Structure 1
Amino acid sequence: MSPEHCARRSHVIMVEPALAQLAKLTASETHRLDRAIVAISVNPALGTEVPGTLLHDYTDEIDAVRGIYYVTALKTITMVTYVEA
Structure 2
Amino acid sequence: MSHEHGARSSRVILVEPALTHLAKLTASETHRLDRAIVAISVDPEVGSLVPGTLLRDYVDEFDDVRVIFYVTALRAITIVACVEA
**TM-score, scaled relative to structure 2:** 0.76
Task: Report Cα offsets for 1:35-57 as digits up to 9, x if no partner.
Answer: 11001110011110111111111
Tell me the residue number matched to 1:79.
80
Once the two structures are aligned, what percentage of the paired residues are identical? 65
Tell me the residue number matched to 2:48.
48
Give 1:80 deviation, angstroms. Answer: 2.5
Aligned residues: 82
1:50–1:57: 8 Å Cα contact kept in structure 2?
Answer: yes
Higher strand share: 2
Runs of 4+ with >6 A deviation: none
Aligned pairs for 1:2-81 (under 5 A) are 5-14=5-14, 18=19, 22-75=22-75, 76-81=77-82
2:15–2:81: 8 Å Cα contact kept in structure 1?
Answer: no
Task: Report Cα offsets for 1:49-82 as digits up to 9, x if no partner.
Answer: 1111111110011111101111111212111242
Call closer, same or farther: CA 1:59–1:16 in 2, change over 3 Å: closer
Structure 1: gaps of 5 or more residues: none
Structure 2: gaps of 5 or more residues: none
**TM-score, scaled relative to structure 1:** 0.76
